[in-house]
A = this chain, B = another copy of it.
Amino acid sequence: MKCRICRNRAQVHLRQHNLALCREHFVERFEREVLKTIRKYRMFTPEDPVLVAVSGGKDSLAVLYLLAKHGYNVRGFYIDLGIDGGIGYSSVSREKVEAFQEKFGIPVEIYPLKLRHDLAIPDLVHHRRQQVPCSMCGTVKRYLMNWKAVTGGFQVVVTGHNLDDEVATLFGNTLRWDVRYLARQGPYLPSNHPRMAAKAKPFAFMSEKEVALYAIFNGIDYIRDECPFAEGAKSILYKEILNTLEERSPGTKLRFYREFLAFREKVLSGLPAEEAPPLRSCTVCGMPTTLEVCAFCRLVGRKTPSEVSS
């Protein structure tokens, strides 16, 4: 197969676009599409300070790399979650992040959860068996990312979520027809509170495979293992199902997502504001929450403001 642009040997075939490309033109197209997404959704300008949530996986390292390459004002933020199961998940991912920083000279701040809060994810999983690990870990990461952005002068938190992540989440929300979640899902979520940063997903339209190729073609080494706690997560089942559908009809995922966004715009945006409880300030840490004490403070067991160490 030949590259559609230069007729040299193609290295990539994107079935969903029926498009063959060489390495160079794949990278060029990938970056063009991502930059288009950033502009289309007015995610941020090259001047805005942007905090990139980094995990050591391909998606977050690749988005940090791409933004830095194109002159965006980025800083990475890595939370060492202290997950030592499997291959030593957190140690390996931290090594990947440090090697990335070293190789490309892009700054990433490391935030050691255990050191700062005397508590790592395995402790939470162990003490709160009735809760799903991914749900608790999500609370911790979302809180700290937002806290870092708000206290560090960043208006937006960028994550590496790709199309496969987005459609798996959308699939779950659709199975429950959850209007409140559906109305908020998309590549960009604006801030709705002075202490709540906007959230942006520049890779929302790029498939997992495309992101992996982009990372590999740019010499980005990343952690390939799944988190050991994610085993049996519903999102993994949803991804398998969506892969089956994509295999049968290439382009299904992209269509599902794009048509949803059109539906959201047309149908859900006109809805009267959902009766979401108003945001107030957590009595312990002061960050926005719908309850008296926010989910993070309850999770890490902070009871009074004096216990806030960070």
Indicate if A262 sits at the interface (CB-CB under 8 A). Answer: yes
Residues of A within 8 A of B (CB): 174-179, 234, 237, 241, 244-245, 248, 252, 255-256, 259-260, 262-263, 266-268, 271
Beyond A177-B260, A234-B248, A241-B245, 10 additional pairs, beta carbon < 8 A? A175-B245, A175-B252, A176-B259, A177-B259, A177-B263, A178-B259, A179-B267, A237-B244, A241-B241, A267-B271
- A179 to B267 CA separation, bound complex (whole angstroms): 9
Q: Indicate whether A256 sits within 8 Å of B179 (C-beta atoms), given known contacts A248-B237, A267-B267, A268-B267.
A: no
Name the B residues within 8 Å of A176 (CB-CB): 255-256, 259
- A134 to B94 CA separation, bound complex (whole angstroms): 54
CB distance from A239 to the nearest CB of B (A): 13
- A174 to B248 CA separation, bound complex (whole angstroms): 17
- Check A179–B266 contact: CB distance below 8 A: yes
- A218 to B266 CA separation, bound complex (whole angstroms): 48
- Closest chain B residue to A260 by CB distance? B177
- Closest chain B residue to A249 by CB distance? B234
CB distance from A263 to the nearest CB of B (A): 4
Q: Indicate whether A262 sits within 8 Å of B175 (C-beta atoms), given known contacts A237-B248, A268-B267.
A: no
Name the B residues within 8 Å of A179 (CB-CB): 263, 266-267
Name the B residues within 8 Å of A259 (CB-CB): 176-178
Name the B residues within 8 Å of A174 (CB-CB): 174
CB distance from A220 to the nearest CB of B (A): 33
- Closest chain B residue to A237 by CB distance? B248
Name the B residues within 8 Å of A256 (CB-CB): 175-177
- Closest chain B residue to A256 by CB distance? B175
Name the B residues within 8 Å of A241 (CB-CB): 241, 244-245
CB distance from A230 to the nearest CB of B (A): 16
CB distance from A268 to the nearest CB of B (A): 7
CB distance from A174 to the nearest CB of B (A): 6
- A174 to B267 CA separation, bound complex (whole angstroms): 14
Name the B residues within 8 Å of A177 (CB-CB): 256, 259-260, 262-263
CB distance from A283 to the nearest CB of B (A): 34
- Closest chain B residue to A253 by CB distance? B175
- A234 to B252 CA separation, bound complex (whole angstroms): 13
Name the B residues within 8 Å of A260 (CB-CB): 177
CB distance from A252 to the nearest CB of B (A): 7
Quick one: which of B175, B252, B267 contacts A255, CB cutoff 8 A?
A: B175
